[in-house]
């Protein structure tokens, strides 16, 4: 895949970039490693000042980088502005809290004495150079939610971003440099996916984090496993959105639309499978379908647009294949199901609701990365839980019920990294984020995320010394 900005709304190639050669990669690896040796000893207060400067720069330049993201991958300009603001918020969150999150931990003195020690504690130390392999769908946020905690912990980072968002990738490297971080703290590698293996195998890379597809995660995990390096993987998701009879059905239906078409439907944590109790299925289906059909598909730079194009031509083709397969096997499109006739250029697809989904259909098991929702009717609570778990993925989940006993049942039994009640899944710096099953492992954000790339070190002093 060429490294290029291709406008998804028009199909026009706006800019192309040369990939780094072997000498260029070596230069950045050497610089990252050398910088770590010094940067790791800087005090938290100094790192925090640098991170706050990066946040301030991002806020000042929010409109420009929002337009860049929209031009590169097609998210609406409104969503792109919100993404930039969220990134600045996360930078400040870690600037203020990193020192406390990584403070020494002291066990009970009685336990220390029982071990034969006079004093013992746990210290979190930075690991070194971390490779980040990031996707195009949230081209700023996915990177910042790794970079902010990793840099605050004292690590250095190398970013291999998706090849269709090179301008956003270059902006990120430049942002941290202009904020005053030492040269080599955070660098962008403009390379194709074929270069990842050699970089990951390099001894100067100590760990890796990847957000992306399941095949990409398998590949990175296999390479890292072969050379015994720590990884964090956030892969696909096919999140359930369960609606039970006690829910506010009108609000659940309104929120369902946003939960499905956020980021033009291209979000791992977007709700994709809508599992509705039989008692309220008809009401929810009617409200949800009507609202999905009313969404405005158009130019993502137009602030009145609800849904922009898919990011790539192949992505639209993949989505169309899933819909066609489902319809051939008996599913019914309650709305959408095709390319909008008014959009001859670009990679647009109509917001779609499919009903009558069965386990024979690919879309039941595969992630639909675009504005396509699947509807299921559940006879009771047990079937709702079974359908929610009938997926190879387990990233997050949404459950609409005001019944406390039902809430406890879903918390106990839903196989996912998160359970969001009476609202839609969202990521926040204060809350750990990640999945189970084929959605990956490890956690980003919160204290859990910053400690993923730390050496958790036991320090013990003998009572006899």
Q: What residues are labeled active site?
A: 234, 268
Three-class DSSP category at 149:
helix
Helices (H), 281-380: 281-293, 313-328, 362-365
The dihedrals phi and psi of 8, each to the nearest 5 degrees, come to: -65, -20
Burial of 341 (0-12, 13-18, 19+ CB in 10 A): exposed
Evaluated on CA atoms 197, 168, 54, 175, the torsion sign reads: positive
Hey, how many other C-beta atoms are within 10 angstroms of the C-beta on 309?
31
R_g of the chain, CA atoms, integer Å: 23
The dihedrals phi and psi of 110, each to the nearest 5 degrees, come to: -65, -35
CB pairs under 8 A, 24+ apart, for 37-43? 38/182, 39/154, 39/156, 39/182, 39/185, 40/125, 40/126, 40/154, 40/155, 41/154, 42/154
Please check whether residue 54 is in contact with residue 91, taking contact to mean a CB–CB distance below 8 angstroms.
Answer: yes
Please check whether residue 126 is in contact with residue 99, taking contact to mean a CB–CB distance below 8 angstroms.
Answer: no
Chain center to CA of 91: 16
Going by the DSSP 8-state scheme, the letter that residue 160 receives in this structure is E
Tokens of 56: 């301030």
The DSSP code sequence of 232-281 is: EEE----EEEEE-TTS-HHHHHHHHHHHHHGGGG--TTSEEEEEEETTTH
Tell me the HSE value of 343 on the side-chain side, using a 13 A CA sphere: 21
């Amino acid at each position: 895949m060429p490294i290029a900005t291709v406008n998804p709304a028009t199909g026009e190639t706006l800019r192309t970039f040369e990939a780094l050669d072997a000498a260029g990669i070596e230069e950045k690896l050497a610089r990252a490693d050398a910088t770590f040796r010094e940067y790791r000893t800087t005090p938290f207060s100094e790192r925090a000042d640098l991170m706050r400067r990066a946040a301030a720069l991002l806020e000042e330049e929010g409109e420009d980088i929002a337009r860049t993201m929209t031009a590169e991958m097609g998210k609406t300009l409104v969503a792109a502005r919100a993404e930039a603001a969220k990134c600045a918020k996360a930078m400040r969150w870690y600037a203020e809290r990193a020192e406390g999150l990584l403070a020494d931990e002291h066990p009970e003195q009685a336990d220390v004495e029982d071990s034969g020690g006079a004093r013992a504690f746990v210290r979190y130390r930075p690991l070194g150079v971390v490779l980040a392999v990031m996707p195009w769908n949230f081209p700023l946020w996915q990177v910042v939610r790794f970079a902010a905690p990793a840099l605050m912990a004292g690590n250095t980072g190398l970013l291999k971003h998706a090849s269709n968002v090179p301008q956003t990738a270059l902006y990120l490297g430049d942002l941290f440099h202009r904020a005053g971080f030492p040269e080599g703290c955070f660098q962008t590698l403009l390379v194709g996916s074929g270069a990842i293996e050699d970089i990951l195998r390099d001894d100067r890379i100590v760990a890796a984090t990847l957000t992306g597809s399941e095949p990409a995660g398998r590949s990175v995990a296999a390479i890292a496993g072969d050379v015994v390096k720590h990884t964090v993987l956030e892969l696909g998701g096919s999140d359930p959105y369960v609606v039970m009879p006690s829910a506010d059905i009108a609000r659940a239906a309104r929120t369902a639309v946003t939960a499905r078409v956020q980021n033009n439907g291209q979000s791992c944590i977007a709700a994709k499978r809508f599992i509705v109790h039989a008692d309220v299925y008809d009401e929810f289906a009617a409200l949800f379908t009507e609202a999905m059909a009313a969404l405005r598909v158009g130019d993502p730079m137009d602030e009145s647009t609800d849904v922009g194009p898919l990011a790539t031509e192949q992505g639209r083709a993949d989505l169309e294949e899933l819909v066609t397969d489902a319809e051939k096997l008996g599913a019914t499109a309650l709305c959408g199901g095709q390319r909008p006739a008014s959009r001859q250029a670009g990679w647009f697809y109509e917001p779609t609701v499919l009903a009558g989904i069965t386990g024979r259909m690919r879309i039941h098991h595969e992630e639909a990365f675009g504005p396509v929702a699947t509807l299921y009717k559940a006879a009771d609570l047990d079937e709702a839980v079974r359908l929610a778990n009938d997926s190879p993925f387990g990233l997050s989940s949404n459950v609409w019920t005001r019944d406390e006993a039902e809430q406890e049942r879903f918390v106990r039994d839903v196989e996912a990294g998160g359970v969001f009640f009476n609202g839609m899944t969202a990521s926040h710096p204060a809350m750990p984020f990640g999945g189970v099953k084929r959605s990956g492992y490890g956690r980003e954000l919160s204290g859990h995320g910053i400690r993923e790339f730390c050496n958790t070190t036991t320090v013990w002093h003998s009572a006899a010394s």
